[in-house]
Amino acid sequence: METAEIARRFLAFFENNGHTVVPSASLVAEDPTLLLVNAGMVPFKPYFLGQRTPPYQRATSAQKCVRTIDIDEVGKTSRHASFFQMLGNFSFGDYFKEQAVPLAWRLLTDSTADGGFGFDPERLWVTVFHDDDEAETLWRERVGVPAARIQRRGMADNFWSMGVPGPCGPCSEIYYDRGPEYGADGGPVADENRYLEVWNLVFMQFERGAGGGKDDFPILGDLPKKNIDTGMGLERMAAILQGVDNIYETDTLGRVLHRAAELTGTRYGDDERSDVSLRVVADHMRTATMLVSDGVRPGNEKRGYVLRRILRRSVRNLRLLSGDDRALLHDLTATAIDAMADQYPSLRADADSIHGVIDAEEKNFADTLRSGTALFARAAEKTRAAGGTTFSGTDAFQLHDTYGFPIDLTLEMAGEQGLTVDEDAFRALMQQQKDTAKRDAKAKKLGNADIGVYARLLDGSGATEFLGYTDHEAESRVLGLIVDGADAAVARAGDRVEVVLDRTPFYAESGGQLADRGTLTADGRGTVDVDDVQKPIAGLFVHRGTVRSGEIAVDDRVHALIDTDRRASISRSHSATHLIHSALRNALGPSAGQAGSENRPGGLRFDFTANSGLTPAALGEVEEEVNTVLAGDIQVRDFQTTLDEALSMGALAMFGEKYGDRVRVVEMSDYSRELCGGTHVGATGQLGIVKLLGESSVGSGVRRVEAAVGLDAFRRLSKESLLVGRLSEQLKAPREELPERIDAMVARLRGAEKEIERLRAAQVLQAAAGLAEGAREHGGVRVVAHQAPDGTAGDDLRRLALDVRDRLGGDRPAVVAVAAVPKDRPVVVIAVNAPARDTGLKAGDLVGVAARALGGGGGGKPDVAQGGGTDPAAVPAALRSVEERVARGA
């Protein structure tokens, strides 16, 4: 049975049993305690905790999940995978164990013709929590599982929580017996390889507090209601139903794995080491594809780092497999898209953008490997020069941090050179960095308040009504205040406060548009200066600010007034962003998808996916097109419609963004149509001018344009015009002749520099005859040791050394050593003629002698060699040491 069919069957079964089918949420978790969705129940957590009222009492889903905790195990075993899908049925205070147990049994054991999975009941075992008599009775009496195939287990195995404070409860698991060829008899407690867990039924009824491990945390109390949360791993089910040994051989992952083998000329099953690499690549490429399609971009922290890391591990393992450095990710991404598109059709539509991101990161990493390898070589050299065999943790960390070198790569490269790595120091530095990142992330994300405070306010008072599309001021009521992260009844002068209103004209930061600022005034009581507005949870507007005077209290009536100049300026920027988006797509094609933006007063930045930069000419065309549309003074219109309708009108949606069923479309005749919740001008003429300020890469296949809008654009242009005026005066040339004039000046300057160089070289060589004449004899070898004037270039030194050697002739042994300080570091060149070489004197050796005296290194061929050091004052001593060395004989 194909993976897609297993999911379809599961959902249909529960739909027929009164459950609402809920589409998979994005992998990017809304829950601030999680980076990525890691269980089917995550999107439903507020319902279990009673923080939100569920719109349905029974639900079923096939949820995309990513778990990165044991990412290092992926591939080493055939059980771990970083991406998986969890099928589940959920009851929010509706049914409990008495229905969950028989429903699960029916779906597993009903014949495939009847819509079930057709498991042989004799091969199923169950476990229950050690004191859960009720569950055991249900399995025995309602379902008919013999007591011999029911086992009891403790907290560590049969109690489920998210690993963090939140909902939890005892669970009951169903296992499938793969048969004696897979291990010992005795049920799941004896062998979890032979007895595979297929389904976990969690009886979610408690709330847990903080604590470590699977069983070391306090139970804080009962949840408001008893709930059901079940989870069946779709990949594992597919392995069983497809009769293959493990998840890597199923119809989805298996395709990526076999393609990786084909591309690298290896075969799965041939060799344990390459099998591990193939599994890593298959798993990681699928995970990366799914993450990118949910809007994650490679980066150096949080989700971006997860993505970067798995892409880099893929590249690395592919190189190990193939033994070369071909770029293979594009092909494997295409395979992953094909393998998953049956279940996630949008993958095909987004394929260009997904490829753009992954291709760029692969290229980026290839560059990284090149420069990181040079840094590695220097650090290894330093280690050896100091007589050590341990590569320092600091260097390993720098390689990791700056160049993205996975530690296993550093370990391997160090191993090849007979070095070990101080892994403890490396890990300590990693931990330090992680702790800092965690603290920062927490401080940033949660603002002051725990998400629960907001959830309670939203549930108590409902969503904030947004009036700001039409109104700039409103009479509102204070529904809640948060001071120092907790509910407060009143906030006083000087307090930082978060204010929740029933209705508001303030735009909350979203869709790249910055928040409004303004004031909330409670008549006769006090005023709050609002400096930021956020929606920490959908629907709830939180006005952040400082109480300027008096006080403000819950239930107060306030006059809410936004800064209208700021708003107007931001709206101009936002409309400009839509126009630039359309113009870029016209110039580059539809793959130039929006990847982020910021609309601020006076200007904007717009990020889009593209693999190469825009030429200045193309940028000029985009700018001209936008300004032509401004001059056309097109009306800007907005309307509500369904998502499907909007998409069929060609409205642009942001890649990786989540939308509800009803959406708002902002339209500028046929030129631009986008899904957008932001504020805009009435007609494009209001923008005045849009001036593009340049275009750059922000890494990973994403480019950025910045622009000034309206008066800001005008001021910039006017300033530049003044500047050009001044240059024209200074150079005494008409404006349009400035480029040629400057080119000519630069050319003259270059010519003059060359001439100076030539004269200096001639001066150096003039000394050659005198030097040759002054050669000293040391045991039959003529030696010239000379310090040239400071500033003599390395090339000139070389020329001088060769010239003096020529003058000394080839019939008797001669050695020439010349040194100088070209900039701030000394350089030495040694030339040795053939008869001297015959006596065993080598330029490479002698340069080593000199360079050591200079505090550096060097080497080269026997006839001529160059070296250098760090200590300019040591030049005379270095030359002396060469002479002494020659005097001692070869």
Residues 812-831 that bind ligand SER (CB under 6 A): none
Segment interacting with ligand SER (CB under 6 A) among 38-46, 648-656, 728-736, 857-865: 38-46
Count other Cβ atoms within 10 Å, centred on residue 236: 20
Cβ(792)–Cβ(828) below 8 Å: no
Which DSSP symbol is given to 862? Answer: S
Segment interacting with ligand SER (CB under 6 A) among 36-44, 74-82, 511-519, 777-785: 36-44
Instruction: Considering the complex, state which of residue 160 and residue 506 has its C-beta at the smaller distance from ligand SER.
Output: 160
**Minimum gap (Å) between residue 66 Cβ and ligand SER:** 13
**Minimum gap (Å) between residue 441 Cβ and ligand SER:** 24
Token pair listed for 661: 């069923």
**Minimum gap (Å) between residue 161 Cβ and ligand SER:** 9
**For residues 454-486, b (16+ Cβ closer than 10 Å) or e, as one string?**
bbbbbeeeeebebbbeeebebebebbbbbbeee
The C-alpha atoms of residue 264 and residue 315 are separated, in whole angstroms, by 12
Residue 160 is a binding residue for ligand SER (CB under 6 A): yes
Instruction: Considering the complex, state which of residue 102 and residue 677 has its C-beta at the smaller distance from ligand SER.
Output: 102
Calculate helix-pair angle for 393-403, 407-416, nearest 10 degrees: 130
Instruction: Considering the complex, state which of residue 230 and residue 597 has its C-beta at the smaller distance from ligand SER.
Output: 230
| CA nearest to 547, candidates 488, 485, 480, 491 | 491
Instruction: Considering the complex, state which of residue 41 and residue 409 has its C-beta at the smaller distance from ligand SER.
Output: 41
**Chain position whose Cβ is nearest to ligand SER:** 231
| Sign of the Cα pseudo-torsion (442, 446, 450, 455, in order) | negative
Residues 784-803 that bind ligand SER (CB under 6 A): none
The C-alpha atoms of residue 503 and residue 542 are separated, in whole angstroms, by 11
**Minimum gap (Å) between residue 87 Cβ and ligand SER:** 9
Q: How many CA within 13 A on the CB side of residue 588?
A: 26
Residue 158 is a binding residue for ligand SER (CB under 6 A): no
**Minimum gap (Å) between residue 63 Cβ and ligand SER:** 9
Q: Give whole-number Cα distances, 765 to 214, 728, 754, 759, 772, in Å.
A: 80, 44, 17, 10, 11
> Where would I find the beta strands (DSSP E) of 132-165?
150-153, 159-161
Instruction: Considering the complex, state which of residue 163 and residue 187 has its C-beta at the smaller distance from ligand SER.
Output: 163
The C-alpha atoms of residue 53 and residue 59 are separated, in whole angstroms, by 13
Q: Which of 43, 163, 231, 710 touches ligand SER (CB under 6 A)?
A: 231
Segment interacting with ligand SER (CB under 6 A) among 37-45, 212-220, 278-286, 848-856: 37-45
Residue 296 is a binding residue for ligand SER (CB under 6 A): no
Give the distance from CA 821 to its chain's centroid. Answer: 46
Residue 157 is a binding residue for ligand SER (CB under 6 A): no
Residue 451 is a binding residue for ligand SER (CB under 6 A): no
Q: Which of 85, 99, 127, 230 touches ligand SER (CB under 6 A)?
A: 230
Instruction: Considering the complex, state which of residue 227 and residue 672 has its C-beta at the smaller distance from ligand SER.
Output: 227
| CA nearest to 707, candidates 572, 837, 804 | 572
Backbone angles phi, psi at 396, to 5 degrees: -60, -40
Instruction: Considering the complex, state which of residue 20 and residue 697 has its C-beta at the smaller distance from ligand SER.
Output: 20
Residues 663-722 that bind ligand SER (CB under 6 A): none
| Sign of the Cα pseudo-torsion (466, 471, 472, 478, in order) | negative
Residues forming a β-bridge with 176: 124, 196
Contact track, ligand SER, 167-206, x by CB under 6 A? ---------------------------------x-x----
Segment interacting with ligand SER (CB under 6 A) among 129-137, 225-233, 552-560, 863-871: 225-233
Segment interacting with ligand SER (CB under 6 A) among 223-231, 310-318, 484-492, 847-855: 223-231
**Minimum gap (Å) between residue 138 Cβ and ligand SER:** 18
Segment interacting with ligand SER (CB under 6 A) among 229-237, 308-316, 368-376, 493-501: 229-237
Instruction: Considering the complex, state which of residue 39 and residue 785 has its C-beta at the smaller distance from ligand SER.
Output: 39
Residue 88 is a binding residue for ligand SER (CB under 6 A): yes
Residue 40 is a binding residue for ligand SER (CB under 6 A): yes
| CA nearest to 545, candidates 532, 563, 527, 558 | 532
Token pair listed for 705: 């344009």
**Minimum gap (Å) between residue 65 Cβ and ligand SER:** 8
Residues forming a β-bridge with 696: 704
Q: Which of 39, 168, 562, 666 touches ligand SER (CB under 6 A)?
A: 39
**Minimum gap (Å) between residue 210 Cβ and ligand SER:** 19
Query: Can you spell out the DSSP letters for 488-535?
Result: ESEEETT-EEEEEESEESPPPSBTTBPPP-EEEEETTTEEEEEEEEE-
Q: Which of 94, 207, 229, 498 touches ligand SER (CB under 6 A)?
A: 229
Token pair listed for 502: 């029933």
> If you search the block for the tokens 């990284």, which residue do you land on?
368
- Amino acid identity at 162: M
H/E stretch holding 121 reads: none
Residues of this chain that interact with ligand SER (CB under 6 A) are 39-41, 88, 160, 200, 202, 229-231
